[in-house]
Amino acid sequence: MLRLIPAIAALLISAPALAVETACEGHEDNLQTYLEMTDILFNQRLGDRAGEYYADEFINHNSDAGGLTYSTVTPEEMGKLWARLSDHTPDRLITNELIICQADLVIARVNATGRRIKGDMEGNPKNGRRYRYTAIDIYRFKDGKVIERWGNNDRIAMIRQLGLAVDLSMTPLPDNE
């Protein structure tokens, strides 16, 4: 344990996205890949580099948009996602609050902050307001790349802080589910 502390400290100090608390002993490779991915893709939004971090196709369980389903996604599709985010909030920043690694999983609780200063968002014009919300993402790695992701964020907090007029209705689930 003691001999790993300097290695983990070096990773965190040199990593662009610093974690407040990290528990990843023995899983430093996945931790390093996650930290690089957070900086390159989420913060710098260099979507053309998504193939460095995501498998050619991966499973995305994305409840961020209110769905309970999953889909198969490509790195190219993820790159387009970051381009769209840049259209609304070019200064958006993800900071890690807690990272836990276990076996092939990296679990991260993050804070997202930004200011809505560009473009139209869900029919709402830009307004310059700031937002801050939290999210939890779980990534499954294989051969150094994400093969599965589960995501959940507090989108309602962002919508309220930005004062957006958004249809929040959802299709009810059938009674037999």
Instruction: Please choose, from the candidates 36, 42, 47, the residue with its C-alpha nearest in 3D space to the C-alpha of residue 141.
Output: 36
With respect to residue 5, please indicate whether it lies within any of the assigned structural domains: no
pLDDT at 158: 80
Q: What is the mean pLDDT of residues 45-51?
A: 90
> Is 94 a residue whose pLDDT tops 80?
yes
0.85 exceeded by the pTM? no
Residue 128 lies in a domain: yes
Dump pLDDT digits (tens) for 17-30. 444 578 888 889 99
Residue 153: which domain range?
20-162
For the chain, how many structural domains are there in total? 1
CA dihedral 71, 58, 83, 121 (to 10 degrees): 20
Does residue 88 lie within any of the structural domains? Answer: yes
- Which residues lie across from 109 on neighbouring strands? 98, 136
Q: Is the pLDDT of residue 87 over 90?
A: no
Strand partners, 102: 105
CATH number, domain with residue 79: 3.10.450.50
176 within domain boundaries: no
177 in any annotated domain: no
